Amino acid sequence: MSTETLEQKNEEVVQKPAEGLLSKRRKRLISDPLNEDNPITVQVLGICSALAVTVKMEPTLIMSIAVVFVIVFSNLIISLLRNLIPNRVRIIVQLAVIATLVTLVSEVLKAYNYEMYKILGAFVGLIITNCIVMGRLEAFAMGNKPYDSVLDGLGSGFGYAWIILTVAFFRELFGSGSIFDFKIFEAVGISNFPTNGLMVDSIGAFMVLGILIWVQRSKTGYVEH
Amino acid sequence: MRQSNGYIILFTAIMTVIVGGLLSLASQGLAPAQKRSIELDTKSSILSSVMDRKELKKMKPKEVLEMYDKRISSLVVDINGDIVEKNEKGEPIVAEEVSILKNYKKNPEERLYPVFKYMSAENPDKVESYILPLYGAGLWDKIWGYVALNKELTTIVGVAYDHKQETPGLGARIGTPEIQGRYVGKEIYDEQGNLVSVTMVKGEGNTGLDSHHVDGMSGATLTGKGVNVMLKNYLNYYQSYFKKVKSGSVAAL
């Protein structure tokens, strides 16, 4: 089994005595997805939600928190169960874990932040289909120890979060003239700043995302083959 | 062993029980809090049609509910303006729990129409304004809200619109105090006493508008049309009730 060989390799690495809680390798688990191996800009996963929720900062922030929560805990749970999960139904098991966590997030939101639930309702449910979450479970958590999986989840989660927050920042600023619903242009004395419908549409997200990818790749030198 | 059919069935069965149990526990545990959130949401949007929104936002949930209990008295009428107290099963109907969305899907003649009476602070038996729910279609999806009329039922004292997903910065402006403030003081009847409602015009920056028109939203003409239809429809549905209130036949309630 491919997963088993993967796991043996990893165990050899981990078995070396006294690997620091944040050793170089583990730091890379977190830092890689933030930039060089970013789930959105490099792996091009989770684009749908990056377009859908990024009209304003506040829902984007809630969405980011929800995704980080789901990705970290599903990574942890799957990693703990990795030696028990039958290979043939592993995708179903992963899906069940993700769906459970997402439903929990959605229910909690409905109970304690109804305002946001009304805005994000459908999109929170769609975290289930966010390829980043399932991708990390299949590619990482199935073959690695729990602590490493949590770090990997944090890395991917924050990698997703900072990108969508950046996109939302520019979309809300130019689309609605505000940040976190605070009218920024009015505050600095420009009361007739025109709002831009293009940024409010999904097209705006594509443009901001495209520019982000451009800037990032010109820095890291990453090219697609 | 881990790949045998028996193991797989056992594993999935256990997983289903755990996951199902967890979710039903969460659903049960969170149900009271969810019910409170929905109740608070409904009650504060009803109040927002007669109150300053900023003030309402500053109030704690408990204060909002207390205020609601003190000032709002509600009832449900049908299309003929007759008060409905029980549903087909004989259970009492609570105006706050009547789903405008579900009623919207029925024929206007079969719908239930809640009325929220905003009572005077000094004299709790005197109506200060009547608040009616609204529901309709915007450009992209549903829009809804409340309109508050003065005690003579002729002039708008406030509106509170909300929407599911009108374009932010354009149609979504119906949710802002800026747009809603334009409705205050507008008349819904013409001089002959016919219902003309209040219409939002096309374009923004129009001057010289009479008491039946409000300035439009630039770039959101279709959302404006949706609002016009919604407002006119619902004012129309309540006409029989209004007549009864004016003639005094249901004033005691």
Of B3, B23, B169, the CB nearest to A195: B169
3-state SS class at A182: strand
Please write the tens of the pLDDT for every residue from A168-196. Answer: 999 988 887 888 878 888 788 777 777 77
CB atoms within 10 A of CB B188: 21
CB B137 within 8 A of CB B226: yes
Gap from A181 CA to chain B (nearest CA, Å): 11
User: How many pairs of residues across A and B have Cβ atoms under 8 Å apart?
Assistant: 73
The answer to whether B40 contacts A114, with C-beta atoms less than 8 Å apart, is yes
Determine the pLDDT at residue B1: 61
d(CA A135, CA A141): 9
Determine the pLDDT at residue A128: 86
- Domain definitions of chain B by residue range: 45-247
Is A200's Cβ below 8 Å from some Cβ in B? yes
Q: Which residues in chain B have Cβ-Cβ distances shorter than 8 Å to A200?
A: 167-170
* Class of residue B129 by CB neighbours under 10 A (exposed 0-12, middle 13-18, buried 19+): buried
b/e per residue, A187-210, with b = 16+ CB within 10 A? Answer: eeeeeeeebbbebbbeebbebbbe
Q: How many CA atoms lie within 13 A of A55 on its CB side?
A: 19
Instruction: Give yes or no for residue B148 having a pLDDT over 70.
Output: yes
**pLDDT class of B252 with cuts at 50, 70, 90:** very low
Determine the pLDDT at residue B18: 95
Determine the pLDDT at residue B23: 94
Q: What is the DSSP string of chain B?
A: -TTSHHHHHHHHHHHHHHHHHHHHHHHHHHHHHHHHHHHHHHHHHHHHTTS-HHHHHHS-HHHHHHHHHHHEEEEEE-TTS-B--B-TTSPBPPGGG--HHHHHTS-GGG--EEEEEEE-SS-TTSEEEEEEEEEEE-SSSEEEEEEEEETTSSBEEEEEEEESSPPTTTGGGGGSHHHHGGGTT-BSB-TTS-B---EEPSSS---S--TTEE---TT-HHHHHHHHHHHHHHHHHTHHHHHHHHHTSSTT-
Between residues B124 and A133, the one the model is more confident about: A133
- What does the mean pLDDT of chain B come to? 86
Percent of chain A as helix, strand, coil, to the nearest 5: 75, 0, 25
Determine the pLDDT at residue B102: 85
Q: Is A62 left (phi over 0), alpha (psi -120 to 50) or beta?
A: alpha
**pLDDT class of A72 with cuts at 50, 70, 90:** very high
d(CA B221, CA A4): 61
Is B7's Cβ below 8 Å from some Cβ in A? yes
Give me the interface pTM, i.e. the ipTM: 0.73
Q: Which residues in chain A have Cβ-Cβ distances shorter than 8 Å to B33?
A: 111-112
* Class of residue B227 by CB neighbours under 10 A (exposed 0-12, middle 13-18, buried 19+): buried
Is B22's Cβ below 8 Å from some Cβ in A? yes
The answer to whether B26 contacts A104, with C-beta atoms less than 8 Å apart, is yes
Please write the tens of the pLDDT for every residue from B16-55. Answer: 999 999 999 999 999 999 988 888 888 888 888 888 777 7
Determine the pLDDT at residue B175: 85
Helix (H) and strand (E) counts in chain A: 11, 2
Determine the pLDDT at residue B253: 46
Largest CA distance in chain A: 65
- Domain definitions of chain A by residue range: 22-217
The model carries a pTM of 0.76
Q: Which of B248, B227, B235 is nearest to B175 (CA)?
A: B227
Give the rounded percent of residues in chain B with a pLDDT score beyond 70: 96
For residues A21-48, give the mean pLDDT. 82
Top-confidence range, A113-122, A148-157, B100-109, B210-219: A148-157
CB B161 within 8 A of CB B174: yes
Sign of CA dihedral A88, A89, A95, A97: negative
User: What's the Cα-to-Cα distance from A197 to each of A174, A175, B168, B172, B224, rounded to whole Å?
Assistant: 9, 6, 8, 12, 17
As given in the structure block, the two tokens for residue B201 are 């015009």
Give the rounded percent of residues in chain B with a pLDDT score beyond 90: 29
d(CA B199, CA B222): 13
Residues 80-139 of B with CB under 8 A from A: none
- Give the residues across from A179 on adjacent strands: A182
Give the rounded percent of residues in chain A with a pLDDT score beyond 70: 92
Written in H, E and C, the secondary structure of A110-145 is HHHCHHHHHHHHHHHHHHHHCHHHHHHHHHCHHHCC
Gap from A194 CA to chain B (nearest CA, Å): 10
Residues 78-97 of A with CB under 8 A from B: 84-89, 92-93, 96-97
For residues A8-21, give the mean pLDDT. 57
H helix or E strand, kind and range, residue A179: strand A178-179
Between residues A131 and B143, the one the model is more confident about: B143
